[in-house]
Structure 1
């Protein structure tokens, strides 16, 4: 059954994408809550208490938007792949369908889009990781001005500080784990993009080879 590999890979792509979409949405909700409801964290350095603003002055969020786009695209592409696979289940000895060709093109775009996002996200994260929040620079109620950060690298640095509220510390730790998870989830999504694209390419080639008709069928 030629449709089965396309069907299963599309289902996997949708499942991975919606999972990552949930993780990214959780991060976005966390950032909004910290900014709107929390405002500052009390940091108790020896002899120096600072009300640290929850977000630094230079916070990059483009990698989150890009990854969110990859997840959304992958989810709907997976659903479309399920539909196309179902349409192909009884297609024998007929010219390649337009829906299969459309899936081929959309999956090719997904591979390129996800690869670009994967490179961008990991490059930005690597450029900002390993940084620390300096006591000599931090000031109460003023956004931390030094360096550039991603949400993941900023809150990782915040966890190193002597926070007054352990509940905030535990909550931040949980969200940092989520941020790392959605970043690494881009890899299986990319691999699934390639897998699904490979199955579609093979099926398209098989249908082209199995017919002598030069035109596509009227199927839409």
Structure 2
């Protein structure tokens, strides 16, 4: 507080002290921190787009999980069917090499017997190789590599490292390419096998020609030279001959049934492969959208883009 002024003018010191006190500057106040006023952004000219940010790592929806489960189930069924196909084809090849590679004893209508070599000279086997290749590719490349691709993809989603993600993407794209190509291979095997079997149907063995071949045991055999035959058509024609052994007839009928089964099994194998191909296309498109960011909008018009 300031002292009261002096009442006597003679007291010079008192007047000077009072003058100093009245003319002294006021004490400085502490500075407050500078406060910036928040301003709203200016409105932009042009169309406004209110779109969500892309989320490439989001969890798959319920529909996606259902489609993935269906894909896994059909791959498992396809692998079982292909295993059956390869088993039947292996049994047919084994029988053609070790049993039909010998000879059949035929009763000659003119009297006596003669030997007929088990395989003709014009035996067609490419349809069997094609079918076995389609089944083997489906079992190994579509089935086993598919399982590996799905496991790697699931594992890569749990890590932030890009190297496992790139490797999983490569394996998945390789598997998807094989699925497309093997679908065409299964279709080709189906059409080719049925075409050859139908083309050479209703062929018969000339018993007069066969009896005059003078066939001898392996390796000095003389194969039947006339016409081209599939294994199924050949065994069907052999059953029309008067076989001397009932055991040979039973054996031929058994393996003829095996060959018919693997030929008709090409139909469900192709159907299953086609279903797997369709589900794989759906899964590939969903995976591609997740990788690029699902729900993106174009700058023009703000329309949703499905990539």
Q: Shorter-chain TM-score category? A: 0.7 to 0.9
Aligned to 1:106: 178
Give the whole-Å Cα distance in 1 for the aligned partners of 2:93 and 2:283.
39
TM-score (norm 2): 0.64
SS at match of 2:204: coil
Aligned to 2:271: 191
Any gaps of 5 or more consecutive residues in structure 1? 215-220
Is the CA contact 1:3–1:85 (under 8 Å) kept in the aligned structure 2?
A: no
Give the whole-Å Cα distance in 1 for the aligned partners of 2:286 and 2:104.
61
Give the whole-Å Cα distance in 2 for the aligned partners of 1:8 and 1:190.
16
Give the whole-Å Cα distance in 2 for the aligned partners of 1:79 and 1:206.
22
Higher-helix-fraction structure: 1
Aligned to 1:46: 109
TM-score (norm 1): 0.87
Any gaps of 5 or more consecutive residues in structure 2? 1-64, 159-164, 216-221, 295-307
Is the CA contact 1:10–1:196 (under 8 Å) kept in the aligned structure 2?
A: yes
SS at match of 1:113: helix
Give the whole-Å Cα distance in 1 for the aligned partners of 2:190 and 2:239.
26
Aligned residue runs from structure 1 range 118-137, under 5 A: 118-137=190-209
Quote the offset at 1:131 in angstroms. 0.6
Quote the offset at 1:191 in angstroms. 1.0
Give the whole-Å Cα distance in 1 for the aligned partners of 2:121 and 2:284.
51
Cα RMSD for the two superposed structures: 2.3
Is the CA contact 1:7–1:85 (under 8 Å) kept in the aligned structure 2?
A: no
Structure number with bigger Rg: 2
Q: Which has the higher contact order (CA 8 A, sep 6+)?
A: 1
Quote the offset at 1:209 in angstroms. 2.8
> Aligned pair count?
211
Aligned to 1:28: 93
Aligned residue runs from structure 1 range 1-220, under 5 A: 1=65, 2-36=67-101, 39-48=102-111, 49-76=113-140, 77-88=142-153, 97-139=169-211, 140-141=214-215, 142-213=222-293
Give the whole-Å Cα distance in 2 for the aligned partners of 1:35 and 1:210.
56
